[in-house]
Structure 1
Amino acid sequence: MKINLQDTIANVLVCQDKLGAQAGPADLTESKLEQNLLFTIARHQNALDWLIDKHASGKVKLRTRKVLRWALAEIICMDGVPAPHVVDVATAFVKRRYSPHEAGFVNATLRTICSIIQQGADLFQDAPVHVKLRLPEILWLKWIRQFGEEQTTILANDILQQASTCLRLRTFPPQKDPTIPKELQKLQPFPWAPDQAFFTTTKRAKLKEILKGKTKFYVQDPATLLAPTMLQPKPGEVIADPCAAPGGKSVAIAEMMKDCGILLASDVNPNKLDTLRENLKPFTCASISQQDATEFKPPSLLDGTILDVPCSNTGVLRRRPDAKWTFSNKKLDELVEIQAKILDNTAKYIKKNGRIVYSTCSIEHDENLAQIQKFLERNQDFILEEHQLILPTTDHDGAFAARLRRR
């Protein structure tokens, strides 16, 4: 199939502008090529910008920088298009879209960098460590303090890898002698969810056909089972999930409850409720509503709740590499405040001896154990029974969960 790189640049530029807290690269286009480019640019953005600033002859306009990012991602990180052709396409695009002067600037900058590559030199020899690791300086410094230099380097390298698609074998209704498609490879059991069977797809796998097959699977990263397993929901209980969309943890909870009891699944975002309803459609125990988790009010006291609160997403940077570049202390403080409100509000509705499992897809101490410690200071009728932090690897995302019980 012939690819029009001019159209590809245009589409990628539009998608870059839409990257944000609620939309990752995979959400913005169905084109696998464009998704791959968006992921690549997002993974390496500060390194690409460092190269641009080092070798450009003057100030770089944002619109020009975005084209240069695309071109350098193609030249340095991908091998599908020869570098000279990338330079010609980028130059022609900027000349047609913006101005001949900017086109000349793009051409000169790219040819300078290509010349260095041809000489076999290390493009990033004198780059700062955080640039070499493709991390924003603020996150690099936080991780150094929290995990140390060696672990931070491992984390940085792991989150640069493409996340594979994982499927979980559905556990309810029970599946007698399930047939596993040959395109799936079974993963070793994960210690936080030993009873769950996970599979990864090969390149030949046709995901839509597998999901429509007789054997029932759910697309789900293994780390997302940490919180539902820690909650230990039982048939007949009243369980809430006030931050439920898109529904992966709610589905796991409903399966553990064997569709017996009451599961109150809600979310503040009305645009996500259709997906939540679709995912919970097989379960009669599920009641779905739109509610703000900071003001969540169930019709009765709860045996348990899972609070998968809004967070910085630093545990899922393989899937959301763009989140690295929007991370800030200000946003972190705002998230911590929202998380505390959700915790305090929901705690009012927990029965005596009932439990809360607080959950994030962040690996930041402020959002995780520090948040729990502050909650316990404010709510002395709760105790901390268990907590676990899973760091992201090439096999799974990162996650945190803590189980609190009312005395």
Structure 2
Amino acid sequence: MSKLPKKNNKPSNGAPAERLEKPGFAARKVAADILGNVVHKKRPLDGELDMASGHSGFRALAANDRALVRAIAGAALRHRGEITEILGRLLDRDIPEKTGRVLDILHVAIAQMQFLDIPDRAAVSLAVDHASMDRRARPYKGLVNGVLRRLGRERDEITSDLDAPRLNTPDWLWESWQAAYGEEGARAIAKAHEREAALDLTVKADAAAWAEKLDGVVVGAGSVRLTKKGAVDALEGFEDGAWWVQDAAASLPAKLLGDVSGKQVADLCAAPGGKTAQLAAVGAEITAIDISKARLKRLAENMTRLGLSVTTVAADLREFEPEVLFDAILLDAPCSATGTIRRHPDVPWIKKPYDIEKLSEIQTALLDRVMSWLKPGGVLVYCTCSLERAEGEGQAEAFLERNKDRVSLVPVDASEIGGLAESVTPEGYLRCRPDQSAGPETGLFGMDGFFAARFRVS
């Protein structure tokens, strides 16, 4: 076991904290800072990486260093449970609080050593430099060096028996998934989260032709999954507005509204606008409502690129009153987003059980409110990008029970969603999971976790 040092505020070996930074040091420092902001201050990773309003150090980096930060932060969060266990095996006791970024520095270094194609020596050297230049972490630079070098020497012995799916899933989430999907299902979901999500596109027309042009494959109910990743705005068809980025599972709820050409349709909680674009592209008269003016601005910009016309309204649905009734409503309700962990690996570490409780109350209120905005016989599709039953099946069942005289369930058929029979429950709900097939004929797996229920209101 590596021993913790005695308190010592002087740099060892007389090395000045102001030493010249090595190449790659700034990226590692920013990665550790962002990791700390996410896990300790519960700041969303996307917000930290936003080029308009995110971490100032990240925005100041060159493009290649920003890509490195994204990779390191993603790996450190995706494998956080494993890294925590590794450190537990290397240390004889916990590192005290108020030691600067020591733990974050170690997590960033181990993420590189274990899960990225970065030489151990570079990860170790830059981690020690970082500790040396952090006033509170400086007394622990010897510990940082010793722990990481020992991991490099004894990697197989220390890591060979790690249960990655279980370790990388917080207890409350594991228990929730076990209750909903059983032990085998929970493990399959957690294992799927070890892989970063693919890049899926929704195209306006001719998915097969676009799959050929972009070196992709058609998955789900007509999405194009790219086999290579790169700058999205550099791909053919981007400037022409031929397609937009949208996970294959996220494209399914809008399809449940059926033929909406010429109909008045409300897309509620609409930003960033993938579902809005789907509905507008097939001829619906769309009113897109979202509480965030900033997010609606981005939605409007996306619609301009796509050449689609929609009406946008910035409003809180709990206070909004529509001027006309709608033929159909798509309510993509605020949720915990536990179905998006493959692309948002911070979610398990910034969300808690009480978040589910609070969001469930909002979902219930919104369902009861918006049902009155439909014309007689209108269709309401409720969906969430959550794996939690409380935000999916539980909400649907309770809604039906509260409104048994006015609302009926319209079961989903696999033929409506590209033959994804595995994603249709016996009750007729849509339930996508990240471990499920992305298409019977593709051999590919992995979609966002999504729930949708379709109702008809009398």
**108-117 or 157-166: bigger deviation:** 108-117
Give secondary structure in 1 for the equivalent of 2:244.
strand
Higher mean Cα deviation, 348-357 or 278-287? 278-287
Report the Cα offset of residue 4 of structure 1: 2.2
Alpha-carbon deviations, 1:90-118, whole Å to 9, x = none?
1121112225412122122223333321x
Do the aligned residues in 2 keep the contact of 1:179 with 1:215 (CA within 8 Å)? no
CA distance in 1, matches of 2:200, 2:79: 24
Equivalent residue for 1:263?
Answer: 286
Q: Displacement of 1:348 after TM fit? A: 1.7
Aligned-residue offset at 1:17: 4.2
Question: CA separation of 1:333/1:177 partners in 2, compared to 1, >3 Å: closer, same or farther?
Answer: closer
Q: Distance in 1 between matches of 2:230 and 2:292?
A: 35
Residue 111 of structure 2, aligned match among 61, 66, 73: 73
Deviations 1:336-384 (A, max 9, x none): 0111111111112111101110011111111001011111222231111
Equivalent position SS for 1:157: helix
Structure 2: which amino acid aligns with 1:210?
E
CA distance in 1, matches of 2:111, 2:164: 19
Residue 122 of structure 1 and its aligned partner are, at CA, apart by 4.4
- Per the alignment, residue 71 of structure 2 pairs with 36
1:92 aligned to which of 93, 105, 129: 129
Cα gap change, 1:63/1:21 in structure 2, threshold over 3 Å: closer, same or farther?
closer
The counterpart of 1:219, out of the listed 221, 245, 269, is 245
Structure 1 residue aligned with 2:80: 45
Stretch of structure 1 that moved more, 201-210 or 326-335: 201-210
Indicate the residue corresponding to 1:357 in structure 2. Answer: 381
1:274 counterpart = 2:297: yes
Q: Is the 8 A contact 1:340 1:371 kept in 2?
A: yes
Native 8 Å contact 1:21 1:323 kept in 2 = no
Q: Determine which of 229, 236, 249 is the counterpart of 1:210.
A: 236
Structure 1 stretches of 5 or more lacking a match? none
Tell me the secondary structure at the aligned position of residue 321 of structure 1.
coil
Question: Residue in 2 aligned with 1:143?
Answer: 177
Amino acid at match of 2:115: C
One-letter amino acid of the structure 2 residue matched with residue 101 of structure 1: P
- Over 3 Å counting, the alpha-carbon distance change for 1:135 and 1:169 in structure 2 is same
Residues 104 and 227 of structure 1: CA distance in aligned 2, closer, same or farther (over 3 Å): same
Provide the aligned length of Structure 1 versus Structure 2: 390
Match of 2:343 among 316, 319, 323: 319
Secondary structure at 2:251 match in 1 = helix
Task: Please say which of residues 42-51 and 358-367 is displaced more in the overlay.
Answer: 42-51
Residue-by-residue CA offset, 1:53-96 (whole Å, 9 max, x unaligned): 33224432462110000011011112222x13322221121112
Q: Secondary structure at the match of 1:295?
A: coil
TM-score norm. by structure 2 comes to: 0.78
Extract unaligned runs of 5+ from structure 2: 1-20, 412-428, 436-444
Letter in 2 for 1:229: K
Distance 2:207 2:381 in 1: 31
In the alignment, the residues of structure 2 paired with residue 332 and residue 275 of structure 1 have an alpha-carbon distance, to the nearest angstrom, of 27
Quickly say closer, same or farther: Cα 1:287–1:209, change in 2 above 3 A. Answer: same
**What CA RMSD, in Å, does the superposition of the two structures yield over aligned residues?**
2.7
* Residue equivalent to 2:271: 245
Q: 2:453 aligns with which of 382, 402, 406?
A: 402
Indicate which of 171, 188, 211 corresponds to 1:154.
188
2:425 is matched with which residue? none
Determine the C-alpha separation between the residues in 1 that align with 2:243 and 2:228: 15
- Give the Cα separation in 1 of the matches to 2:215 and 2:241: 12
* Corresponding residue SS for 2:410: strand
SS of 1:210's partner is: coil
- Aligned mates of 1:332, 1:405 — CA distance in 2: 26
2: CA distance, partners of 1:180 / 1:39: 28
Alpha-carbon distance change, 376 to 217 in structure 1, aligned in 2, over 3 angstroms: same
1:384 equivalent in structure 2:
409
| Equivalent position amino acid for 2:253 in 1 | A
Distance in 2 of aligned mates of 1:321 and 1:66 = 16
Instruction: Return the match for 1:5 from 18, 24, 27.
Output: 24
Q: Write the distance in 2 (CA, Å) between the matches of 1:200 and 1:277.
A: 25
Q: Distance between the aligned counterparts of 1:32 and 1:204, measured in 2?
A: 11
Hey, what's the Cα distance between the residues in 1 that align with 2:277 and 2:377? 24
Q: Distance in 2 between matches of 1:405 and 1:275?
A: 31
Q: Within 5 Å, give how 1:296-311 maps onto structure 2.
A: 296-311=320-335
